[in-house]
Every structure is written in structure tokens, then in C-alpha cells.
Structure 1
Amino acid sequence: MDKLTRGKIESLEEKILSPLAMKSKYSQGRNYPEKEHSYRSVYQRDRDRIIHSTAFRHLEYKTQVFVYHEGDYYRTRLTHTLEVAQIARTISKILCLNEDLTEAIALAHDLGHTPFGHAVEEVLNELMKEVGGFNHNVQGLRVVDFLEQRYPNFKGLNLSFETREGIIMHNPQRGKMCCDSLEFSQYAQPTLEAQVIDIADEIAYDSHDLDDGIKSGMIKEEELRKVPLWNVTYKKVKEEYSNLNKELRVCLIIRSLINFQVTNLIDSTRKNIKSLKMISVKDVRSCKKRAVAFGQTLNQLREELRGFLFKNLYSHWRVLRMSDKAKRFVKSLFYVYLNNPALFPSVFKKNVRKGKDTKRTICDYIAGMTDRYALEEYKKFFDPYEKV
């Protein structure tokens, strides 16, 4: 049997992938030079390093909207990440982009997220405002560049430029705001693979928040039918399957919503590529406008859907109460460590002794916690009956 070597993989990419795809052969490489692998491309190695990282495992116990102990059927950062990767791979495959790079960025895109979702990101940003603030994309880059300790010759995972760029620049608004590095600001746009992640993230996020919101009872399906994007899909499912129970009907509607959005994105992106006259990766990177985007009509429909989610789920009193609790006890933990760095675990004590910024060290420690670990730490410090 013939062996598929790295060289053959690179040759296949040249034959199969679009001229707009980022081919592994042309990667800008790693910060620390390494010998190439015999049968894995640069992006395949990135993907594998991310999967085996500590930060990736921790995603299982970091939540999106609902705290982990609220119920086992709610999404976590890990399930969200896997859903983003699946959607993104599908889009990349159809557009003939580099699936390995797409998957690597997708699997890493949330590595910098805090426990308890965006609420804790907000409070850490407030606590860190005098020393640079906090942003989960920037933190994701810190994780893969410095905080992961798995190799003897360098800090971090030593990922390729394109994967690292995708982590911090996949979202256009957050990427430009938080990127003050010339390393990533040299291009107007990231690769198409990174652009795909931004949209796949949105599709996955909205879809599973609808699913989890309905399961939790915070979202009433009857109210959702007033939202045009949901209602159109609901009617199609109802016409095809008239006697479904609510649970199965919701599953079919959400599946159809994902399919509809992915199809629209692929068609719209192809039109954008043609109208923008893109014929190379250089064109992608120098363009003022992103090519990977929904059509205008779907964008408007999605805005209405997201408005509904904000009003009925993200602003629900139960979610706000959970967010407020998380903010208060994370802030309490932060000041406990700040006032007494001796309470740090040994690896973080070492960073403080080396003269590294104490606040940033605390921030790294808290951001890396799972929901469960953060709750346990809080109880150890503030519950007099809890063992230390």
C-alpha cells in the first residue's frame, strides 16, 4: 500500500484546493523552527497539538450561557467548539479551502474563554483595564504562545502563523480592536479559512442557544414564531411533518436553520469572490471587504433573530442572576490572590517571583479555570465549613 507523505498531501492541496485557499506548503511557519513531520502537514500538526492541550480539555467544563451544574444537556465551550468545527469544515470543503487549517482555527478559537462565559470576561476586562484589559481572543493567543507547557524547547504550542492569526483575527471587530501587534496587522484581512470560522461561530452559537433556551423553558417556541427566520423554517417543517412532537420539531427546525444559513453563506461567498475579482490569497488578504459573508436579506433576518435572543434569553432574569453571581465571586477571587500571592499554586507563584505582572498572572489563572474549579476555589476561601 502506498504511503501518504507530507509531500503528497501538499501536492494534493495544489491540485484540489482553490487558488484562494491557504495551502500548507506556503505557511509563514512557526516562531520556533522545527523539523517538518514526515506524514502530517503543518496545519494537521497544529490541529493535533490543540486537541491534546490542557486548555482544550478544560473547555468541557466551561459554559456558554448556563452554568455547568444547571443541567447536563446544555452546551459547554467544548460542544460549541466541536459544532463550530463541523460547520466550518463543511463550508471549507464546498469552497475548496484548506479543511485542516479551518479545523485547527475552529478548535482553538475559544481557548482563551473564561469560566461562566462572557460575564467573567467583562469583569476581568474591568479589573485589568490599567494593565491592558482582557479579551478572550488575545487570551487564546497567550494560551497557545506561552501558557501551555508541553515541549522542552519552547513555550506554548508553537503553532503556525496562520492558525495563530485565525485565533486572534477571525472576528473582524474584536480582532482589529485587540490586535496591536504588527505581526497580525500587516494584512487587511485574514485567510478565507479564518473568515469561515467567524461565521460558523455565529451559526453554531445562535442555533444551540435557541435549542438550550427552549429546553430550559426561558424561550417559548410560540413566541419564536413571531421571528421571521424561525417562522419560515417552522412552516416548512410543519408542512412536511404534521404530527411531530415539540422536541423533534424543534430539532428539525434548528437543523433546517443551520442548513439554510450554510447554503446561503456558500452562495453569497462565491458571488462576493467573483465581484471582488479575487484570484489569489494575496487578493484575499489585501481586500478591504471580507468575502465570506451572508447575503443582505439573511443578514437582516439574523439581526431580528439575535435581537430576540438578547431580549428573551441573554436578558432573562435567570441568566442575569447567574452572570451577576459569577462576576461577584470571580472579583472576590481576584482580590484574594492580589492581596496574598502566596495563595497561588506553585506554577503561578513562580511567575510572580520572576517579577511578572501579578495582575496578569492572576488573570491567566482565573481565565484558565473551569466553572467547577472556580466554584470550588471560591468555597475554599469563603465557606468556613469547606476543607482547604
Structure 2
Amino acid sequence: MLAPYACLPDQSRGRLYPERTSSFRSPFQRDRDRIIHSSAFRRLKHKTQVFVEHEGDYYRTRLTHSIEVAQVARTISGVLNLNTDLAEAIALAHDLGHTPFGHTGEDAMERLMAPYGGFDHNAQALRIVTRLERHYADFDGLNLTWETLEGIAKHNGPVIGPNADKKHEGPLPYALAEVNAMWDLELDTHASAEAQVAAIADDVAYSHHDLHDGLRSGLFTEDDLMDLPVTGPAFAEVDAIYPGLEKMRRRHEALRRVFGRMVEDVIAVAQNRLSAAQPKSVDDIRHMGTTIIRFSKPLYQELKAIRSFLFHRMYRAPSVMAERARVTQVVNDLFPLFLREPALLPAEWQADIAAATDEVVLARIVADYVAGMTDRFALQEHARLCG
């Protein structure tokens, strides 16, 4: 039984292009399945999370990260009696718009696209699922439900209005504005509880696996984590229960406790807030003016300390910064090259290029192509075209 504030499949606002309903899958199950079978989702296996894709077989990629986020989202939404299929669909789609080379590539693309309407990976994910996936006979994109599109657009909170994220002030990225013009996503409100679960699951997943990947890379050691909140007590608990445990098992046992602490905290806070607010519908969730799914204040402060540690010891480590500089140059070289010589793009892109009415439209087509590249393909094309 779903909670009254969950997104109910039979009350979905539907799809932009009407389709026959399935006899054995809900609308949100179909969304999830279309995302999994999309070309953009498959490409995530060769897109970086922190380390460039080819640097090691054990580091997370965007694909493994998305699967981990979906697992956490299903767990939390199941306990809260939310729609697990919708939460999973949003979680699986949330990184579809990422460029090659993770946030490094996105930073480069934002600068390059500033004269042409900007670039944002959430907006680009919407562009992918509404326009760039071209496999169906009756429409471009995946023709996802309104609820899934809403979740992709604003799982991190309202995009416009008084409650919007102040870090992204300014005009809407063109890709988001285009989709919102086709179908009003109510960008000034919060998203459903399922979308909020997907957002917090993203935080849980990367906070956990970046610790794991940082240890495996040798950028820091277990001893460095002993003085941090959450991680220090987790290792101390493992040492007390399993003295002398082999290194890799000790690491896994400690980090799974960190993982569990975050998930349990989110569930407890959500249950308390939902009990106090007594929302009667999903629209009550959207119009609360604040998120219903969040970390407790004490844990949030502790996680800030961990993220500060990761920022300095991992994301800004000298070896990582050197690689960031190298791959930034790759994007900085490829984008203007394709903008000057669009004939270099594959044949299937040439019809769109021929229909481009001005440089802005052309730049957005080039951005679609470059942003869709995997790490490996971007490096190969750069070597082939730029030497």
C-alpha cells in the first residue's frame, strides 16, 4: 500500500505523446525500463565519476554510481511507502546529461556554452530523454511521464522562485527552458517525495563510494579517516568487534557502517517530518516550501566535514588536478573545432547541422555531441583530430 502522498501510477499526469497503457507494467516501470535501455544510459559505463574511466577497473563510473543511487532510492522509498519504481527511474536518469570527465568536463562545457544559453547536466538529461534519444517511430526522446521529467528537472529543489537553489541564479539553461515550454514542470515548487529520495540517495552513494575510491587510489589512508566524524567511530567499532581484521575486510566493514548510518538517518528524519506534516497528497509535498527528505542537522554537519576532507585530499589532490587540466584541454579543443568544422561530426548528425538556423543552434548541436561522448571516445577523437 502506497502512502497518500506518494505518486500513484493511476494518477500520473501522463505522457506528452499519448500511448496505450501496458497491461503488466505501471507507467513508472515503463519509464525505468526505457531509461535502462537508452543509448545514453549505456554510455555511462565509460564516463567518469572522479577518476578518468581508464585509470582503474575498480573505481566507480557514472553507470555503477547510478545503479548504487537507484538501490538506495528503492530502499528508502520502500520503507516510506513511496513509489519505488518512480524513485528508481529518477535515480537511474539523474546523471544521463553528464559530460565526459565528470564535473571537470561539465565545468569546461559551462564556460564554452555561456554565449549560447549555458549548460547544466540536469537540463541536458532532460534534453536527452525528450529529444536526443531517437529510437521510437512516433516521437523523439523516451516520452517519459510528467512525474519522471519533473523529478529529473528539480530533484535538487525548485529551479525558480524564492525557494530555488541560489547557486544557480540567472536565466534557465536553454535545455530546461525548452522542455518546460513544451510541458510546464512547475519549476517553482519542490518535486515529489520520490524525486527527493533520489536526490538524497545520490548524496548517500557518492559520500560512501568516494571514500572507498579515495582509499583504493592511495590518496589517503584509513588512519586519515580515524579523526573524522562518522568514519572514525565506524572504524573503531569494527576494530572492537573484529580485532586484527584483514585490511580490505576492515575497510569494507567500516564503510558499510557509514553507509548504513546515512540511510537510517534519512529514514528516521523523513518518518518524523512526514508524521508532523501529515501531507494528504503529492501536491502537499510539492508545496511545503521545504524538502521533506533530508539528513538530520547533526549528521549533515558531520558529512560536511567529510566532504571538506574529500575536497582537499581527493578532488583537489595534485594528481587529480593534473588530470583535470589535461581533460579540460580535451573539451576546450574539441568543442571549438567541431563548431568551426561541423562536417567532422558523424553522418547521422549532419541533417540537424544542415537545419541549424544560426550559430547558437549549431553550438547546441555540437554541445549535444561533445557532452554525449564517453571519456574513452573523447580522448580517442582528440588524439585523432588534434594530435
- 1:1-388 mapped onto 2 (5 Å cutoff): 16-172=1-157, 176=164, 177=168, 178=172, 180=177, 181=180, 183-185=184-186, 188-355=189-356, 357-383=361-387
Q: Secondary structure at the match of 1:282?
A: helix
Instruction: Deviation per CA, 1:75-95: give whole Å up to 9, x if none.
Output: 100000000000110001100
Distance 1:348 1:118 in 2: 25
Distance 1:295 1:314 in 2: 25
Distance 1:279 1:361 in 2: 43
**Is contact 2:83–2:194 with CA below 8 Å preserved after alignment?**
yes
Aligned residue type for 2:278 = K
Deviates further, 112-121 or 277-286? 277-286
Aligned residue type for 1:42 = P
Q: Secondary structure at the match of 2:82?
A: coil
Cα RMSD (Å): 1.4
Distance 1:224 1:186 in 2: 39
Distance 1:280 1:23 in 2: 10
Q: Give the deviation of 1:276 after TM superposition.
A: 2.5
With the length of structure 2 as denominator, give the TM-score of the two structures: 0.92
Aligned residue type for 2:370 = I
Distance 1:78 1:238 in 2: 33
User: In structure 2, what is the equivalent of residue 6 of structure 1?
Assistant: none
**Is contact 1:268–1:293 with CA below 8 Å preserved after alignment?**
yes
Distance 2:292 2:19 in 1: 33
Distance 2:65 2:352 in 1: 32
Distance 2:362 2:61 in 1: 29
Aligned residue type for 1:229 = V
Distance 2:329 2:187 in 1: 39
Q: Give the deviation of 1:277 after TM superposition.
A: 3.2
Aligned residue type for 1:31 = L
Q: Give the deviation of 1:223 after TM superposition.
A: 1.2
Q: Give the deviation of 1:186 after TM superposition.
A: 5.3
Distance 1:188 1:164 in 2: 14
**Is contact 2:159–2:188 with CA below 8 Å preserved after alignment?**
no
Instruction: Deviation per CA, 1:51-95: give whole Å up to 9, x if none.
Output: 110000000000111111111111100000000000110001100
Deviates further, 54-63 or 224-233? 224-233
Distance 1:152 1:36 in 2: 17
Aligned residue type for 1:373 = F
Instruction: Deviation per CA, 1:202-245: give whole Å up to 9, x if none.
Output: 11011111101000000222111111111111111111111212
Distance 2:242 2:5 in 1: 41
With the length of structure 1 as denominator, give the TM-score of the two structures: 0.92
- Unaligned regions of 5+ residues in structure 2, if any? none
Q: Give the deviation of 1:159 after TM superposition.
A: 0.3
Aligned residue type for 1:143 = I
* Regions of 4+ moved over 3 Å: 173-182
Q: Count matched residues.
A: 368
Distance 2:157 2:316 in 1: 25
**Is contact 1:170–1:198 with CA below 8 Å preserved after alignment?**
yes
**Is contact 2:28–2:148 with CA below 8 Å preserved after alignment?**
yes
Q: Give the deviation of 1:246 after TM superposition.
A: 1.6
Distance 2:118 2:257 in 1: 39
Q: Give the deviation of 1:379 after TM superposition.
A: 0.9
- Unaligned regions of 5+ residues in structure 1, if any? 1-15, 384-388
Distance 1:338 1:33 in 2: 37
**Is contact 1:187–1:286 with CA below 8 Å preserved after alignment?**
no
Distance 1:185 1:279 in 2: 19
